[in-house]
């Protein structure tokens, strides 16, 4: 084996170990969004899962299709926008997305769509990081819509965005050089969110588009309080009970989840 092939095998083995932890026992239905040439989709298919991959680039889909043609369980790869995948009414046990969400113009709407594709008890696995220090929204390519998360997204911020849509979530830091074929200094992690059975937060399932998250929460009985703040950037916040021990703070201006605070059982 050449040195390069040996290093590739080490990287693949490191990701295969993680996928064994993150995915349910095979065979499950796995949707890999922004699948590229199918690095993760291939590992999932080799583990015995039924995989559907989606990528915007026809060339990537062609390369992914060639790699996935040899897997024991048939896999499908589709050209399409990950933010609204062309999978009809098919549902999945796992939605898997690596290194994509930070490029999307509305990651909140995409997250909500992805969670809606899960069948209970499903899980969403997001592998992301914060690679640059760009602060202001910018387009991915000239002329495209602005990305709110240029340079990647921190685990804290992504976790807040996902929190209202799942029953539980956890962050796994991914500093292991074996995963990246080199030591890394920047923040890299997986955020894994689990649905529960049945859905305790029906307001996350509304069909409005884009979802008016705060106003849907307000209609539910989970709103704890509204508060005026002196910060003109937020002009008041809406606090929503998320779980027994967590309160979600919405920014009223952007209508997006902004932070999570601990609370006691009574929500104080």
Interface residues with ligand SAM (CB under 6 A) are 34-36, 39-40, 54-57, 60, 81-83, 98-100, 103
Q: How far is the CB of 83 from ligand SAM (least distance, A)?
A: 6
Measured from the CB atom, is 110 or 162 closer to ligand SAM? 110
In the chain, alpha helices (H):
3-22, 39-46, 58-68, 107-116, 155-162, 177-180, 213-219
Spatial contact of 32 and 65, defined as CB atoms under 8 Å apart: no
Report cis status (omega within 30 of 0) of the bond before 13. no
Across-strand partners of 239? 225, 249
Q: Which is nearer to ligand SAM, 32 or 93 (CB)?
A: 32
Shortest distance (Å) from residue 41 CB to ligand SAM: 8
Sign of the dihedral through C-alpha 24, 25, 31, 35: positive
Measured from the CB atom, is 60 or 240 closer to ligand SAM?
A: 60
190/213 with CB nearer ligand SAM:
190
- Comparing CB distances to ligand SAM, the nearer of 33 and 118 is 33
Q: What is the DSSP letter of 151?
A: T
Q: Minimum Å distance from CB 163 to ligand SAM?
A: 23
Beta strand 50-55 with 76-79 is parallel
Quote the tokens at residue 118. Answer: 């899960």
Q: How far is the CB of 241 from ligand SAM (least distance, A)?
A: 33
User: Under 8 Å CB-to-CB from 142, ≥6 apart: which residues?
Assistant: none
CB of 100 to ligand SAM, least distance (A): 5
CB of 72 to ligand SAM, least distance (A): 21
Strands 29-33 and 92-98: parallel
Q: Do 132 and 151 contact (CB within 8 A), yes or no?
A: yes
In angstroms, what is the minimal distance from the CB of 267 to ligand SAM? 38
Q: Which is nearer to ligand SAM, 77 or 163 (CB)?
A: 77
Q: How far is residue 180's CA from residue 7's CA, in Å, rounded to a whole number?
A: 10
Whole-angstrom distance, CA of residue 48 vs CA of residue 232: 53
| Residue whose beta carbon is closest to ligand SAM | 36
Token code pair at residue 136: 């202001």
Nearer to ligand SAM, 101 or 238 (CB): 101
């Amino acid at each position: 084996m050449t040195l390069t092939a040996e290093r590739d095998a080490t990287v693949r083995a490191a990701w295969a170990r993680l996928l064994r932890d993150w995915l349910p026992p095979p065979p499950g239905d796995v949707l890999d969004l922004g699948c590229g040439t199918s690095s993760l989709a291939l590992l999932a298919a080799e583990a015995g899962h039924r995989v559907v991959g989606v990528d915007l680039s026809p060339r990537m889909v062609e390369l992914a299709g060639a790699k996935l043609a040899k897997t024991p369980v048939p896999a499908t790869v589709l050209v399409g926008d990950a933010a609204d995948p062309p999978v009809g009414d098919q549902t999945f046990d796992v939605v898997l997305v690596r290194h994509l969400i930070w490029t999307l113009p509305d990651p909140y709407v995409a997250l909500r769509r992805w969670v809606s594709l899960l069948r209970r008890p499903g899980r969403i696995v997001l592998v992301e990081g914060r690679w640059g220090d760009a602060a202001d929204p910018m387009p991915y390519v000239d002329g495209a819509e602005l990305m709110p998360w240029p340079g990647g997204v921190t685990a804290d911020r992504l976790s807040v965005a996902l929190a209202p849509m799942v029953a539980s979530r956890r962050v796994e830091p991914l500093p292991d050089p074996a995963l990246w074929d080199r030591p890394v200094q920047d923040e890299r992690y997986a955020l894994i969110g689990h649905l529960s059975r049945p859905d305790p937060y029906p307001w996350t399932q509304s069909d409005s588009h884009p979802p008016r998250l705060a106003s849907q929460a307000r209609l539910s009985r989970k709103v704890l309080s509204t508060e005026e703040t002196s910060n003109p950037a937020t002009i008041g916040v809406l606090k929503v009970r998320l779980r027994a021990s967590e309160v979600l703070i919405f920014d009223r201006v952007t209508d997006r989840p902004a932070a999570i605070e601990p609370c006691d059982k009574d929500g104080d």
